[in-house]
Amino acid sequence: MRNTKTLLLEVAFVAAAGLIFALAANALSPRGLRLGRNYFPGGEKLSAAAQPVTNATASPAGAAPGNATAATIQRLQQRGLQVIPHNEVAALFRDPSFQQGLVVFLDARDDDHYQAGHIPGAWQFDHYHPERHFPVVLPACLAAQKIVVYCNGGACEDSEFAAVMLRDAGIRPETLFVYAGGISEWTTNGQPVETGARLSGQLLQLKP
């Protein structure tokens, strides 16, 4: 009996000390999460359409990996977001208004993915670290007539959360569009990507 009590006290000590250690380490880590922030605005509860694509839940036969599925489009519409198809994104990319800053592309992925290849001229807006990007992205979005947000495509939801965050920050909803096919649909269709920083000039044509 005494032995069990001693063991339970030890468990309680490990639990309490471990929790304090964990919270302190997270607070001190530069990569740490902020406990009070909602990282999934409008998507706290996972929708059926948000299930990840694994090798066990592969896309329907014949579907390109980046193509937006009907479920994804339905989910976007439920969140009050406008969807833009690939052909319109490609047309906007070649439109002179893109060079004039009236069309803005936002890459909602993390640093590694952005550096590895983004739509040429796209700004990075990783909504998990908005403080890093808001100072440059917000003025660009406020001046734009069309904002196209994208991430990897497929089951990736980061573009949606980024768009919701921008909408909540005061960007007019009618200017916001989510390119659900994302970078995978972009490259599958033979479009160029830019590596490194924005306007680095290092263009790549990835083979589909």
Partner 1 sequence: MTTALVRCLLGALFIYMGLNKTLHPVEFLKLVRQYDVLHAPFALNLVASALPWFEVFCGMLLVLGVAVRGTAVMLVAMLVPFTVLVFLRALAIQKTGGLPFCAIKFDCGCGAGEVLICRKLAENILLTAISIGLVFWRKTSLCLRHGLL
Nearer to partner 1, 112 or 174 (CB): 112
Nearer to partner 1, 46 or 63 (CB): 46
Q: Which stretch binds partner 1 (CB under 8 A): 42-50, 61-69, 139-147, 166-174?
A: 42-50
Q: Which stretch binds partner 1 (CB under 8 A): 15-23, 65-73, 80-88, 173-181?
A: 15-23
Identified binder of partner 1 from the candidate list 128, 138, 192, 198, rule CB under 8 A: 128
Contacts to partner 1 from residues 150-189, by CB under 8 A: none
User: Do 124 and 141 form a contact (C-beta atoms < 8 A)?
Assistant: no
Nearer to partner 1, 16 or 143 (CB): 16
Query: What is the total count of residues that contact partner 1 (CB under 8 A)?
Result: 40
- Residue 203 near partner 1 by CB under 8 A: no
Q: Which stretch binds partner 1 (CB under 8 A): 44-52, 64-72, 100-108, 168-176?
A: 44-52
Provide the binding-site residues for partner 1, judged by CB under 8 A.
Answer: 6-7, 9-15, 17-19, 21-23, 25-26, 29, 31-40, 44-46, 51-52, 54-58, 110, 128
